[in-house]
Amino acid sequence: MVKVLELSEDVTQSHNANNNRWISFKASPDNPFEGSFESGTGEERENSGKWFYKEKTNEFFLDSDAGEEDDSYWDVSFNADSMYWKGRKFEFNKRFEIFYKKAW
């Protein structure tokens, strides 16, 4: 995670103070548009769950093992080494934009 905006204000420091927050995705062997994820800070895994991507509507859904209150919907865009998320569906999520850089 390289940047977090809340209502266009940079809040990266409060969401990624040590610049070590990450999320990792693994695609399902049967369907490249769904799979599992893990996320955390540093070496510590803090969350996991399933992800689903609807290419037709560009909807990205994270179904968190932490419970329904932690599930989230996003519009996403990709390029070779980065991913951009814009919150959708829930009012709280709509406040956020998240920028990730791919780690090899």
- Are 98 and 10 contacting, i.e. CB atoms less than 8 angstroms apart? no
pTM of the predicted model as reported, rounded to 2 decimal places: 0.86
Position 7 scores a pLDDT of 96
The full set of domain ranges for the chain reads: 1-17+46-104
The 10s digit of each residue's pLDDT in 50-66 is: 999 998 888 999 999 98
- Are 85 and 78 contacting, i.e. CB atoms less than 8 angstroms apart? no
Q: Is the pLDDT of residue 104 over 70?
A: no
CA–CA gap between residue 92 and residue 100 (Å, rounded) = 20
- Are 2 and 100 contacting, i.e. CB atoms less than 8 angstroms apart? yes
Give Cα separations from 33 to 26, 29, 54, 78, 102 (angstroms).
Answer: 10, 10, 7, 14, 18
Position 1 scores a pLDDT of 93
The 10s digit of each residue's pLDDT in 41-99 is: 999 999 999 999 998 888 999 999 988 888 999 999 988 899 999 999 889 989 999 99
Give Cα separations from 74 to 18, 44, 65 (angstroms).
Answer: 24, 24, 17
CA–CA gap between residue 91 and residue 70 (Å, rounded) = 13
